[in-house]
Amino acid sequence: MRRLLLMALLLTLIASGVSAQDYEFDPTVCAEFNDGGALGQDCLDMIDWFPRPPHVEAIDLDTYTLDNYSFWRIGPDATPTYSAPGGEVTGEIPAGFNFVRAIDLSVDGWMQIEDGRWIPRELARWTQPSLFTGVTIDDGLEYPFAWVLDLSRIYTSEYPGGPYSTNTGRWIARYEMVNIFAVAYDDEGWRWYMIGPNQWVEQRFVAKALRIERPEGIDGGKWIAVDLYEQTLVAYEDDTPVFATLISSGLEGFETNEGLFNVWANLPADAMAGATGAPSAYALQSVPWVMYFDGSISLHGTYWHDLFGYRQSHGCVNVTVSDARWLYQWTHEGIGDTDVANTPVYVYSSGEYGVTASGY
C-alpha cells in the first residue's frame, strides 16, 4: 500500500513538474512520531524520498598516499635493525606501538624503512589504512545526520528502548550514513533516533554531525570544530558548514584539550613518537597531513587503525588519511603547501563523555 501511495505521489509531482530533486528535505514532519506507533503520510513520504542524507557527497580517496606509501606494524617487542639485508645489527626499534613505512621491498624476506635501516619482513605486518571518508556539505548542514559506529551489523529496534528486531527489515552497518527523522528517550534517559519508518537506534551506536554557532574569538573565514562527545569534525567557511567526518580523540589519561586554538605548524608528513620505555610507548613513521594546533597535539591522517568515531589517540585528533589530505588542502587554498595555515580549531564537547563509543 505504501508503495502505491508513493507512486501516486510521484505521479502527482511529475504532473506538476516537480522532481525528486525539488522535493524539500524536511524531517520535522516526522518529529512528533517518536513512540514507534503509526506514522503520518507526510513522514512516510519524507523517509521514502530521502532514505540517506541529501546534500552531502563523499570526498575522493587520497590515492597517492594510499597507493604509494606502504605501512607496516612492528613489535610490540623490540625490533632489531640491520645495515643491509643479512647484514650487521645496527640497533633496534624499542618495544611499543610502532609502525614504519617501507621504501624498498625488492629484497626477498627484507624491507628497508624510510630512515634507511633494514628489518626482516617476518617481523612486520602490512597495514591497510582506512578507506572511510567524510563528506562535503552543500546545504549548510541544516539538519544533522549521523554515521553508524557499531562494529557488527545489527538490526534496528521497532520503538525507542526496544530490542533489536528483524521485523524492522533494516540492519545497519558500520560507517553507514543515516538521517535523523525523530528523537525520543528511553526509560534510562538514553537518546534514540528514528532513521527509517519505525527503525530506531540508540545514540551510542551512531555519531552525529551537527552545526554550531561560530564561537567568540573566530572572526570568520575557515575554521574547524571538533566535537569530543560525538567524535565528529565539521569544517566551516564563515558560518557555513562545508565538510564533516568522524574523528578519534584522546583516550582516558590522554584527553584532547578543549578550547580555541590555531594551527601553528603543518607538514605533509611527520614522524611521531612518545613515552619511550613506558607501556604506552609509540613510534610512527610518515604520519601524513599534519596540522599542529595545541603544542605537540595535532590533527593528522591516521593509517594504523580504522576505529573512527571511537576515542583512540594520545591526545591528537585522528582522521583518515583521505580526510586529513582534504582538510590540509582546504586550509591551504590560496597559500603555499608548506605555509602555516593558522586555521582556528575549536575543540568542545556537546555533552559529557566517557571512554567508550562515540564519546559516551
How far apart (Å, rounded) are the C-alpha atoms in residues 144 and 181?
Answer: 10
- Residue range 114-172, pLDDT digits in tens: 999 999 999 999 999 999 999 999 999 999 999 999 888 889 999 999 999 999 999 99
Q: What is the pTM of this model?
A: 0.91
| pLDDT range class, residue 278, cuts 50, 70, 90 | confident
- Residue range 157-171, pLDDT digits in tens: 999 999 999 999 999
Higher pLDDT, 197 or 11: 197
Domain CATH code at residue 337: 2.40.440.10
Q: Let me know whether 189 and 300 are in one domain.
A: no
Higher pLDDT, 336 or 34: 34
| pLDDT range class, residue 356, cuts 50, 70, 90 | very low
Q: How far is CA 155 from CA 200, 249, 268, in A?
A: 9, 28, 41
**pLDDT given for residue 91 in this prediction:** 94
Residue 60 lies in a domain: no
Residue 273 lies in a domain: yes
What mean pLDDT comes out for the span 340-355? 86
Q: Let me know whether 182 and 241 are in one domain.
A: no
Query: Is residue 346 a contact partner of residue 298, using CB atoms and an 8 Å limit?
Result: no
Residue 246 lies in a domain: yes
| pLDDT range class, residue 294, cuts 50, 70, 90 | very high
Residue 195 lies in a domain: yes
**pLDDT given for residue 35 in this prediction:** 93
Q: Where does a domain end: 208, 225, 247?
A: 208
Kindly report the backbone phi and psi dihedral angles of residue 147, in degrees, each rounded to the nearest multiple of 5, phi listed first: -110, 140
Helix, strand or coil for residue 160?
A: coil
Q: Let me know whether 217 and 196 are in one domain.
A: no
What mean pLDDT comes out for the span 279-290? 92
Q: Which of 227, 226, 231, 224 is nearest to 246 (CA)?
A: 231
**pLDDT given for residue 209 in this prediction:** 97
| pLDDT range class, residue 84, cuts 50, 70, 90 | very high
Instruction: Give me the sign of the Cα torsion angle 300, 305, 307, 311.
Output: negative
Q: Let me know whether 336 and 191 are in one domain.
A: no
Higher pLDDT, 287 or 2: 287
Q: Let me know whether 45 and 171 are in one domain.
A: yes
Q: Let me know whether 38 and 156 are in one domain.
A: yes
Lowest pLDDT segment from 3-7, 137-141, 202-206: 3-7
Q: Where does a domain end: 182, 208, 234?
A: 208
Residue 109 lies in a domain: no
Q: Let me know whether 283 and 179 are in one domain.
A: no
Q: Let me know whether 196 and 298 are in one domain.
A: no
Query: Is residue 134 a contact partner of residue 243, using CB atoms and an 8 Å limit?
Result: yes
Helix, strand or coil for residue 84?
A: coil
- What does 166-232 look like in DSSP terms, one character per residue? GGG--EE-TT-EEE--EEEE-TTS-EEEEEETTEEEEGGGEEEE---PPPTT--SSEEEEEETTTTE
**pLDDT given for residue 336 in this prediction:** 82
Q: Let me know whether 26 and 153 are in one domain.
A: yes
- What does 6-31 look like in DSSP terms, one character per residue? HHHHHHHHHHTT--GGGSPP-GGGGT
Residue 303 lies in a domain: yes
Beta strands in 231-276 (DSSP E): 232-237, 240-246, 259-262, 265-274
Residue 14 lies in a domain: yes
Q: 170: domain range?
A: 2-50+145-208
Query: Is residue 113 a contact partner of residue 102, using CB atoms and an 8 Å limit?
Result: yes
Q: Any idea what DSSP says for residue 163?
A: P
What mean pLDDT comes out for the span 211-219? 96
Beta strands in 250-358 (DSSP E): 259-262, 265-274, 282-294, 297-301, 317-319, 344-348
Q: Where does a domain end: 160, 184, 208?
A: 208
**pLDDT given for residue 354 in this prediction:** 53
- What does 99-111 look like in DSSP terms, one character per residue? EEEEEE--STTEE
**pLDDT given for residue 339 in this prediction:** 86
Higher pLDDT, 338 or 254: 254
Q: Let me know whether 268 and 329 are in one domain.
A: yes
Q: Let me know whether 306 and 225 are in one domain.
A: yes
- Residue range 8-62, pLDDT digits in tens: 444 444 444 444 445 789 999 999 999 999 999 999 999 999 999 999 999 999 9
Asked if residue 80 has pLDDT above 50, the reply is: yes
The total number of structural domains that make up the chain:
2
Q: Report whether the peptide linkage leading into residue 344 is cis, meaning its omega lies within 30 degrees of zero.
A: no
Residue 129 lies in a domain: no
Q: Let me know whether 185 and 220 are in one domain.
A: no
**pLDDT given for residue 150 in this prediction:** 84
Helix, strand or coil for residue 318?
A: strand
- Residue range 307-333, pLDDT digits in tens: 999 999 999 999 999 999 999 999 999
**pLDDT given for residue 353 in this prediction:** 62
